[in-house]
Amino acid sequence: MDQDDRPISKKDAAERLAGEDLAPYSQDELAARIALLEAEIARVRAHSDASNKHRAAADALFKGSSS
């Protein structure tokens, strides 16, 4: 089977990561993984907050222009 013929996974990266076996990791590797995941959570939250503010500003703009 050619590489391009393989089915595309329906799971996103976070779902694949959540299912990974953690047994092979050392304590140091687990601590590094936790730090990386916490940084990613902060990045996603910041993006979500910015998106919410952008949406609220757009809603306020269009709500105000129809009056």
| DSSP secondary structure code for residue 23 in this structure | T
pLDDT band at residue 63 under the 50/70/90 scheme = confident
Say if 12 falls within a structural domain: no
pTM of the predicted protein model: 0.67
- The CA radius of gyration of the chain, in Å to the nearest whole number, is 20
Say if 66 falls within a structural domain: yes
| Positions of E strands within 1-67 | none
pLDDT of residue 11: 83
Say if 13 falls within a structural domain: no
Residue type, 46: A
Say if 18 falls within a structural domain: no
* Helices and strands (H and E) in the chain: how many: 2, 0
Query: Residues 47-62: what's their mean pLDDT?
Result: 93
Query: Residues 53-59: what's their mean pLDDT?
Result: 93
How many domains are there within the chain? Answer: 1
CA distance 20 to 18: 6
